[in-house]
Amino acid sequence: AQKVTQAQTEISVVEKEDVTLDCVYETRDTTYYLFWYKQPPSGELVFLIRRNSFDEQNEISGRYSWNFQKSTSSFNFTITASQVVDSAVYFCALSEHYFGNEKLTFGTGTRLTIIP
């Protein structure tokens, strides 16, 4: 069975600091997809990134970057120069290729608070 672990339950940092959210996953599949979603205080789920298991290139999008390492089964998310608007709960999720996206396994989430 697949599993996603987000060991950091809550993180608080002062605005403009960098912060990394950890995600470790388990799967028996060789083909799979990893996701990050943001859940702001308003409650909706906002898609941030999707990465497939064959693409280990790191990705950067503005202040956001993701580090995918198959050797350690990790898909970590870094926010550079954090802002108050980054305060949210962040979820890492895993989808096994065979089942597409209808069966996502989520981690328990990391609540990030940015202190002004």
Partner 1 sequence: NAGVTQTPKFQVLKTGQSMTLQCAQDMNHEYMSWYRQDPGMGLRLIHYSVGAGITDQGEVPNGYNVSRSTTEDFPLRLLSAAPSQTSVYFCASSRRTGNTEAFFGQGTRLTVV
> CB under 8 Å to 22, separation ≥6 — which residues?
6, 7, 8, 74, 76, 110
Binding mask 49-88 for partner 1 (x = CB under 8 A): -x-x------------------------------------
The span from the CA of 3 to the CA of 42, in Å, is: 27
Q: How far is the CB of 39 from partner 1 (least distance, A)?
A: 9
How many chain residues are in contact with partner 1, going by CB under 8 A? 26
Window of 17-25, 60-68, 75-83, 107-115 that interacts with partner 1 by CB under 8 A: 107-115
Residue 54 or 116: the one with the smaller Cβ distance to partner 1 is 54
Instruction: Choose, by CB under 8 A, the member of 16, 63, 70, 103 that binds partner 1.
Output: 103
Tokens describing residue 20 = 């990394």
104 interacts with partner 1 by CB under 8 A: yes
Strand-pair category, 10-14 with 110-115: parallel
> CB under 8 Å to 78, separation ≥6 — which residues?
18, 19, 20, 21, 64, 65, 66, 67
Question: Which stretches of the chain bind partner 1, using CB under 8 A?
Answer: 4, 6, 9, 33, 35, 37, 43-45, 47, 50, 52, 91, 93, 95, 97, 100-109
